[in-house]
Amino acid sequence: MSFPLFDLTGRRALVTGSSQGIGYGLALGLAEHGACLVINGRNAEKAAAAAETIRARGLHALSVAFDVTDAAAAREGVAYIESEIGPVDILVNNAGMQFRTPLESFPIEKWDELLKTNVSSIFYVSQPVAQAMIGRGRGKIINIASVQAELARPGIAPYTATKGAVRNLTRGMATDWAKYGLQVNAIAPGYFKTPLNQALVDDPKFSAWLETRTPAGRWGNVEELVGAAVFLASDASSFVNGHMLMVDGGIAASL
């Protein structure tokens, strides 16, 4: 049985920050649904290894390394993909970082780094990708936000600010680009077992709190984000625009 609405066969997907964690999980999931993947990261060796792992499964993947926090590098990287590999049909802006410390002692340089990595990078990569998509009259852009776009915890105020910005940037991108045939949406993961969260996963006190706080009663697994990504990358979401899809086990819905 086939499901053409969710079929990504022949579509090229660029996933930033996809050599590990959520980015790699999303890249693999899109590839399993037929997409040809372009793995991206700053470390060329790690990106190449991730692409090789996907190819070893009989799927399609290449790697292109560039720093998404550098506007010129991002534009050059997108231009290379478009001219040498092929058009980007799906862009997943996944690259991001976290830094935890009380706000009153939060280092200025880390504030700047968070903004550049979590917000500016989305603009730097999306603008040249969208310019090409507009010329073709179609395209899918998925920004990775967070449950922290809606909620806050001690020690991560700047991170919550960046993810709130991602939510509103998603709305703005959809408002500007929907008329050209683009759909721009966001996925807001809750708490997932990833390298970014490993310190929290390994903290028995935090894990116990999270399992009590989350209606589903557990951490999320990266594979559980794939369905949302496939939906937003496929024809199934052809009239969904500017939306942020929560994938959080119900944590944002519950006190």
Residue with tokens 């990775």: 144
Distance in angstroms (rounded) separating the CA atoms of residues 73 and 90 = 19
Two structure tokens written together for 224: 């559980």
Note the residue count of the chain: 255
Q: What would the two tokens of residue 137 be? A: 């009259």
Choice among 24, 80, 124, 159 that is catalytic: 159
How far, in Å, CA of 211 to CA of 224, rounded?
A: 17
Q: Find residue 247's DSSP bridge partners.
A: 189
On whether the CB atoms of residues 219 and 176 are closer than 8 A, the answer is no
Please check whether residue 148 is in contact with residue 159, taking contact to mean a CB–CB distance below 8 angstroms. yes
d(CA 232, CA 74): 23
Active site residue 159: yes
Residue positions annotated with a catalytic role:
159
